């Protein structure tokens, strides 16, 4: 008996969390390392700058038995018309990227039904201007303005916390007019998600101590400043037409403050802001059930499913069932967190659509949803929910 599925072939995909790339940098990378760079291990070692020569060989041996790498190797080989080997795929995709990057990538997006990407401009640094990325990617790009690079850029020139805060707020206020569809914070990578209600005096004193400490990240000095500036971002977003705030929530690369990265750490702040849309980027994975629970009780907390998608591979279906079963499905957004190689946007969209078709097919078979309801849920998760939340026309 074949598995029940819901056909979502015609539903456009908006990737709600991804990152840009510079084609010339991709062309300079070793072709045979392509599959290593798309694994969770490879991506994290690169983004946290921990990949050294001894780790590179070990990484390669881990890649060879990783389901996602195997899937990419075989499906991209079929797409490129080459043998499904590490070397052949790495060489052929490099040649395609060199000869006609827009044509090659545009073909992938069309094949996967990818209609646009909501891109966190904070990685890689320096920021890639949206227009530049959109031209290189041959895909509609929607900008997410990350607040942490502003703090780095502004703190040295500020004589006091008040001066820095004013400059920060002015920068944030300009973002919607400069095309941003959301704000983003990675405070979980800096001082943790447990944002506290500091006084102005706390923030002023902490700013001076932080400077004296050489801007070293610490929960004693940096945290009060970062917490207050994130709160100011909420205020700016609320007045700027209700722009959503994306907050990295859950694990990440080894630079994460893992002790304070859980959805429950963010709960106090989210509870104060019941009417304001916040997207938990990664849904709190590996505490995904906890993220889904928070979104099930706080009305404007959304869940974005990258990291699960595509890296959980074998486990994607059960994770999706948890998200869609626990939280209202109209607050669940498809996303990939592609951050190294653009082909991840494509593969993740393919496997994401397929997993959703299976999960929703089972939901109908078990009597939880009617067929048309399941199809609407699928269309929303793939693109409709992200489009509605960010004011994007599909």
Helix H or strand E encompassing 141: strand 141-146
Question: By rule CB under 5 A, what count of residues binds Zn ion?
Answer: 1
Nearer to Zn ion, 121 or 194 (CB): 121
Residue showing tokens 């593969």:
347
Nearer to Zn ion, 337 or 341 (CB): 337
Phi-psi map region of 257: left, alpha, beta (phi>0 left; psi -120 to 50 alpha)? beta
Nearer to Zn ion, 19 or 204 (CB): 19
Rounded to the nearest whole angstrom, what is the least distance from the CB of residue 85 to Zn ion in the complex? 30
CB 8 within 8 A of CB 381: no
Residue nearest to Zn ion (CB): 337
Nearer to Zn ion, 180 or 203 (CB): 180
- Contacting range for Zn ion; rule: CB under 5 A; set: 198-206, 321-329, 333-341, 367-375: 333-341
Helix H or strand E encompassing 384: none
Rounded to the nearest whole angstrom, what is the least distance from the CB of residue 382 to Zn ion in the complex? 19
Rounded to the nearest whole angstrom, what is the least distance from the CB of residue 146 to Zn ion in the complex? 10
Rounded to the nearest whole angstrom, what is the least distance from the CB of residue 252 to Zn ion in the complex? 8
Let me know if 218 is exposed, middle or buried by CB neighbors in 10 A (0-12, 13-18, 19+). Answer: middle
Neighbours of 169 (CB within 10 A): 15
- Contacting range for Zn ion; rule: CB under 5 A; set: 182-190, 210-218, 230-238, 331-339: 331-339
Rounded to the nearest whole angstrom, what is the least distance from the CB of residue 302 to Zn ion in the complex? 15
Helix H or strand E encompassing 13: strand 13-18
User: In the numeric block, which tokens belong to residue 6?
Assistant: 């819901």
Contact pattern from residue 187 through residue 226 relative to Zn ion, giving x for each residue in contact according to CB under 5 A and a dash for the rest: ----------------------------------------
Distance CA 284, CA 253 (A): 14
Closest CA to 147 of 118, 179, 119, 169: 169
Rounded to the nearest whole angstrom, what is the least distance from the CB of residue 210 to Zn ion in the complex? 26
User: In the numeric block, which tokens belong to residue 146?
Assistant: 């990350």
Nearer to Zn ion, 265 or 337 (CB): 337
341 binds Zn ion (CB under 5 A): no
Sequence-distant (≥ 6) Cβ neighbours of residue 255 within 8 angstroms: 48, 189
Nearer to Zn ion, 337 or 343 (CB): 337
Residue showing tokens 């992938």:
108
Distance CA 331, CA 356 (A): 15
CB 265 within 8 A of CB 227: no
Rounded to the nearest whole angstrom, what is the least distance from the CB of residue 123 to Zn ion in the complex? 6
- Count Cα atoms within 13 angstroms, Cβ side, for 200: 5
Nearer to Zn ion, 36 or 337 (CB): 337
Rounded to the nearest whole angstrom, what is the least distance from the CB of residue 340 to Zn ion in the complex? 11
Closest CA to 235 of 226, 245, 225: 245
Contact pattern from residue 229 through residue 268 relative to Zn ion, giving x for each residue in contact according to CB under 5 A and a dash for the rest: ----------------------------------------
Nearer to Zn ion, 79 or 184 (CB): 184
Q: Which of 121, 290, 337, 338 binds Zn ion (CB under 5 A)?
A: 337
Nearer to Zn ion, 267 or 311 (CB): 311
Rounded to the nearest whole angstrom, what is the least distance from the CB of residue 185 to Zn ion in the complex? 12
Residue showing tokens 């304070």:
260
CB 336 within 8 A of CB 352: yes
Closest CA to 14 of 311, 289, 279, 370: 279
- In degrees and rounded to multiples of 5, residue 140 shows phi and psi of -60, 125
- Contacting range for Zn ion; rule: CB under 5 A; set: 79-87, 172-180, 337-345, 361-369: 337-345
Nearer to Zn ion, 207 or 334 (CB): 334
User: In the numeric block, which tokens belong to residue 179?
Assistant: 């095309």
DSSP state at residue 253: S
- Contacting range for Zn ion; rule: CB under 5 A; set: 135-143, 187-195, 235-243, 332-340: 332-340
Rounded to the nearest whole angstrom, what is the least distance from the CB of residue 51 to Zn ion in the complex? 18
Would you tell me which residues interact with Zn ion (CB under 5 A)? 337
């Amino acid at each position: 008996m074949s598995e029940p599925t819901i056909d979502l072939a015609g539903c456009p995909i908006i990737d709600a969390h991804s990152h840009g790339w510079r084609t010339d940098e991709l062309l300079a990378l070793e072709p045979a390392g392509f599959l290593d760079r798309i694994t969770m291990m490879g991506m994290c070692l690169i983004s946290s700058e921990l990949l050294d020569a001894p780790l590179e060989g070990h990484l390669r041996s881990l890649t060879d038995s990783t389901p996602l790498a195997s899937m990419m190797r075989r499906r991209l080989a079929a797409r490129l018309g080459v043998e499904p080997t590490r070397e052949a795929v790495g060489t052929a995709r490099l040649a395609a990227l060199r000869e006609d990057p827009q044509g090659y990538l545009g073909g992938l997006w069309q094949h996967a039904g990818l209609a646009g990407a909501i891109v966190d401009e904070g990685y890689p640094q320096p920021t890639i201007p949206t227009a530049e990325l959109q031209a290189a990617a041959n895909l509609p790009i929607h900008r997410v303005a990350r607040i942490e690079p502003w703090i780095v850029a502004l703190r040295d020139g500020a004589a006091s916390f008040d001066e820095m805060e004013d400059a920060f707020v002015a920068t944030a206020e300009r973002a919607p007019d400069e095309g941003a569809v959301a704000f983003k914070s990675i405070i979980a990578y800096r001082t943790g998600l447990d944002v506290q209600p500091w006084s102005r005096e706390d923030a002023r004193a902490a700013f001076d101590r932080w400077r004296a400490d050489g801007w070293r990240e610490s929960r004693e000095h940096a945290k009060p400043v970062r917490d207050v500036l994130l709160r100011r971002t909420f205020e700016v977003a609320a007045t700027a037409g209700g722009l959503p705030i994306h907050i990295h929530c859950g694990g990440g690369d080894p630079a994460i403050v893992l002790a304070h990265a859980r959805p429950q750490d963010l709960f106090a702040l989210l509870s104060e802001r019941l009417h304001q849309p916040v997207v938990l980027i990664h849904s709190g994975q590996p505490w995904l059930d906890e993220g889904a629970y928070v979104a099930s009780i706080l009305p404007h907390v959304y869940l974005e499913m990258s990291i699960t998608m595509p890296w959980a591979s074998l486990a994607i279906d059960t994770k999706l069932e948890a998200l869609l079963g626990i939280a209202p499905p109209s607050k669940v957004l498809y996303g990939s967190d592609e951050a190294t190689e653009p082909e991840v946007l494509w593969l993740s969209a393919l496997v994401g659509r397929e997993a959703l078709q299976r999960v929703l097919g089972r939901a109908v078979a078990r009597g939880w949803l009617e067929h048309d309801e399941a199809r609407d849920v699928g269309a929303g998760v793939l693109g409709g929910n992200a489009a509605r939340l960010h004011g994007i026309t599909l």
